[in-house]
Amino acid sequence: MSKAPKKSKARRLAKAPSSPKRVRADFDEVVKLITAARSRAVAAANTALIDLYWSVGAIITRKIADEGWGKATVETLAAHIQRKQPGATGFSASNLWRMMQFFGAYRDQPKLATLLRELSWSHNLAILSRCRRDDEREFYLRTAIQERWSFRELQRQLNGALFERVVLSPPKLARAMLDTHPEAGAIFKDSYLVEFLELPSEHSEADLQRALVAKLKQFLIELGRDFCFVGNEYPVQVGKRDFSIDLLFFNRALNCLVAIELKIEEFQPEHLGKLEFYLEALDRDVKKQHEQPSIGVLLCATKDHKVVEYALSRTVSPALVAEYQTRLPDKKLLQAKLHEFYELAEQNAALPRDDSAKPSGRNPKGLRK
């Protein structure tokens, strides 16, 4: 009786087919490579476009200074470009003037050159046209890149006068916050704009909480890119009693939990006691060993800055008090206050220095490093 033929070595070593889950993971890896390559290509194209507009602006600026180019010459240039490059867009006479203004605004600020190329031309135009001061432009350039704002979000922050609010009202932080989280001042704000909630003037804390959860994506953008949502009405148990925290987040940059308590009234000193209790419960029972102490935020309808200062001066917990604003602020009023602020700063700088005086810790630029 003949023996059955032996299986070949290749067949004996053949691997079992991958599971559907493993195949999908392999497919997703290929898709990620494609997405990453496309992102790099878009970034490279944007950099090339900004470089082009910068160079065109430099040429027009030089020709105006050296050869007296004017409006008619630039219009003729736009028509010439259209004839030679019929498919090219973005080279109208008005846009050529914007390129010249773009070059003129930043030609003496080489440190901002890299920042300009990280944003789209639309972003750059919005900042150029809406900002009056160099430090204001720098603030929006850096923050738009850091927070990865869309063009729409940049427009919203410009309309909401973020720069003016940051400079005029830096966040009020407890001493414990500065000790445990020195960089917190660059992450939190003194006021948060939540006009997107479309709340009526009369609303309850429950209304406010439901609206924030319903518009969570917009609220996370307003908080900042490193905030992650954990839950609302987050339960904590102490002894035999149950409590709940209005909103709980985690901040990746600070590596800590952030509890937000909502108050639809003016800040009262006694509000801090409850918040400190929640922070103690989080640190004892929820916080992981590798995480930093939890932070508490009282988000109130209004507050008296002096009352907040006194209340925070003795608290031993990392906490801050901020306002929420359901309507866009009066930008012209804030700009007028900012003008007064800079005038006062210039007057103080011109006075003889008194070495016995304590230096002000305020950063007149209001830039987030």
Which tokens in the block code for residue 142?
């850096």
Averaged pLDDT, 54-67: 94
Closest CA to 194 of 173, 226, 216: 216
> Lowest-confidence range among 38-47, 78-87, 302-311, 347-356?
347-356
User: According to the model, what pLDDT value does residue 357 have?
Assistant: 42
User: According to the model, what pLDDT value does residue 187 have?
Assistant: 94
DSSP secondary structure, 202-239, as one string:
S--HHHHHHHHHHTHHHHHHHH-TTEEEEEEEEEEEET
Helix (H, G, I), strand (E, B) or coil at 104: helix
User: According to the model, what pLDDT value does residue 114 have?
Assistant: 84
Of 9 and 323, the structure prediction assigns the larger pLDDT to 323
Cα separation, 272 vs 178, whole angstroms: 17
Averaged pLDDT, 178-205: 93
When the pLDDT of each residue in the chain is averaged and rounded to a whole number, the result is 88
CATH architecture of 170-331: 3-Layer(aba) Sandwich (3.40)
User: According to the model, what pLDDT value does residue 365 have?
Assistant: 42
Whole-number percent of the chain with pLDDT over 70: 90
Contact 238, 274 (CB under 8 A): no
Number of other CB atoms surrounding residue 220 within 10 Å: 16
Closest CA to 144 of 160, 157, 130, 132: 157
- Please report, for the chain, the start and end positions of each structural domain, with discontinuous segments joined by +: 21-108, 170-331
Number of other CB atoms surrounding residue 180 within 10 Å: 17
**134 contacts: CB under 8 Å, gap ≥ 6:** 109
Cα separation, 162 vs 219, whole angstroms: 15
Which tokens in the block code for residue 94?
């008005």
For the chain, the maximum distance between any two Cα atoms, rounded to a whole number of angstroms, is 115
356 has pLDDT over 60: no
pLDDT, tens digit (0-9, with 9 covering 90-100), for 297-348: 999 999 999 999 999 998 989 999 999 999 988 888 888 888 888 777 777 7
User: According to the model, what pLDDT value does residue 354 have?
Assistant: 52
pLDDT, tens digit (0-9, with 9 covering 90-100), for 158-168: 999 999 999 99
Tokens 């944007």 found at:
46
